[in-house]
Amino acid sequence: MAGLVQIGSQLDKQAADVFGGAAGLEATRNREREMADAAEDASAMSMAGSGAGVGAMIGSAVPGVGTVAGAAAGAITGWLGSKLHKLF
């Protein structure tokens, strides 16, 4: 009888190890996915910021356009570029 209890205990430990390992792999994949999403969001923000900076430089160089209007146009262009980048 003690042999059956010992075998049951070993099987229980093996099952716990397997399920614990699977949970660890899933947690790792979830973290990697979250990090990739955060990097993608940061890239889109950077592209929009760069577009705003270029737009502001152009807007300040062209009379009558204005820095704010140029920055807004550049930010929109950068944002659209980041969205189009996802499609291709």
Among the residue ranges 41-45, 64-68, 73-77, the one predicted with the least confidence is 64-68
Query: Could you give the count of Cα atoms lying within 13 Å of 72 in the half-sphere of its Cβ?
Result: 5
Q: Write the secondary structure of 11-61 as one string of H (helix), E (strand) and C (coil).
A: HHHHHHHHHHHHHHHHHHHHHHHHHHHHHHHHHHHHHHHHHHHHHHHHHHH
Q: What is the mean pLDDT of residues 48-62?
A: 69
Cβ pair 71, 55 in contact under 8 A: yes
Report residue 28's pLDDT band, with 50, 70 and 90 as the boundaries: very high
What local confidence, expressed as pLDDT, does residue 65 receive?
62
pTM, two decimals, is 0.52
Q: Say yes or no to pLDDT of 76 above 80.
A: no
| b/e 63-72 (16+ beta carbons within 10 angstroms → b) | eeeeeeebbb
* pLDDT at residue 1, rounded to an integer: 59
Q: CA 81 from chain center: how many Å?
A: 17
